[in-house]
Amino acid sequence: MFSLKKFFQLALVGLLLPASLMAQEFPPKKTVTMVVGFAAGGSADTAARVIAKKLAENIGQAVVVDNKPGAGGNIAHAAVANGPTDGSMILLGSIGPLTIAPHMMKVSYDPFNDLAPLTMGLMFPNILVVPSSLGVKNLKEYVALAKKEPGKLTFASTGNGSASHLQGELFDGVAGIDVVHVPYKGGNPAMVDLLAGRVSAYFSSPSTAGPFIKEGKLIPLAVTSAKRSPFYPKVPTIAESGYPGFDSTNWYSFMAPGKTPTPILDGWNKALVKTLKDKEVIAALGEHNFSPAPMSREDLAKFIAKESTTWGKIIKEKNIKED
| Cα separation, 120 vs 109, whole angstroms | 20
**Confidence band, pLDDT 50/70/90 cuts, at residue 323:** confident
pLDDT at site 117: 98
How many domains, the chain?
Answer: 2
CATH of residue 229's domain is 3.40.190.10
Q: How far apart are CA 275 and CA 290, in angstroms?
A: 14
Residues 233 and 94 in one domain: no
Q: What is the pTM of this model?
A: 0.85
* DSSP β-ladder status, 201-204 and 127-131: antiparallel
Tell me the sheet residues that pair with 159. Answer: none
Q: What integer is the mean pLDDT of 253-264?
A: 98
Among 51-60, 158-167, 212-221, whose mean pLDDT is lowest?
158-167
101 and 237, same domain (yes or no): no
Shared-domain flag, residues 117 and 258: yes
Distance CA 273, CA 153 (A): 42
Which residues, 6 or more positions from 19, have their beta carbon under 8 angstroms from its beta carbon?
Answer: none
Is the pLDDT score of 2 beyond 50? no
Q: What is the pLDDT of residues 262-308, one digit of tens each?
A: 999 999 999 999 999 999 999 999 999 999 999 999 999 999 999 99
In three-state secondary structure terms, 323 is coil
**What does the mean pLDDT of the chain come to?**
92
Q: Which of the listed residues 186, 208, 241 is the one where a domain comes to its end? A: 241
Residue 321 pLDDT grade (very low, low, confident, very high; cuts 50, 70, 90): confident
Q: Are residues 217 and 131 in the same domain?
A: yes
Angstrom distance (rounded) from CA 91 to CA 225: 25
pLDDT at 68: 97
Q: Are residues 134 and 112 in the same domain?
A: no
Task: Centre a 10 Å sphere on the Cβ of residue 80 and count the other Cβ atoms it contains.
Answer: 27
Q: Are residues 148 and 204 in the same domain?
A: yes
Q: Are residue 115 and residue 255 in the same domain, yes or no?
A: yes
- Both 232 and 148 in one domain: the answer is yes
Contact 253, 117 (CB under 8 A): yes
Q: Is the pLDDT of residue 56 over 60?
A: yes
* 112-124 residue pLDDT tens: 999 999 999 999 9
In this structure, the answer to whether residues 136 and 278 fall within a common structural domain is no
Helical segments of 156-199, H only = 163-175, 187-195
Mean pLDDT of 215-232: 96
Torsion sign (Cα): 187, 84, 116, 279: negative
CA atoms in the 13 A half-sphere facing the CB of 166: 27
Give the confidence band of 23 by pLDDT, cuts at 50, 70, 90: low
Region 239-245: mean pLDDT is 96
Assigned domain for 323 exists = no
Query: 91-111 pLDDT, tens per residue?
Result: 999 999 999 999 999 999 999
Residue 13 pLDDT: 42
Q: What's the pLDDT band for 3 if we cut at 50, 70, 90? A: very low
Helix axes 43-59, 187-195, angle to 10 degrees: 150
Running DSSP on this structure, what letter comes out for residue 134? G
Q: Which residue has the higher pLDDT, 19 or 96?
A: 96
User: Could you tell me where the beta strands, DSSP code E, fall in the chain?
Assistant: 32-36, 63-67, 89-94, 115-125, 127-131, 154-157, 180-183, 201-204, 218-223, 249-257
- Are 220 and 133 in contact, with CB atoms under 8 Å apart? no
Domain limits for position 170: 125-241
Torsion, CA 29, CA 51, CA 305, CA 86, rounded to 10: -10
Per-residue confidence (pLDDT) for residue 19, from 0 to 100: 45
Query: Are residue 117 and residue 255 in the same domain, yes or no?
Result: yes
Alpha helix ranges (H) inside 215-296: 262-276, 279-286
Please give the pLDDT value at position 312. 95
In a domain, 205, yes or no: yes
Indicate the residue among 187, 218, 241 that finishes a domain: 241
% of the chain residues with pLDDT over 90: 87
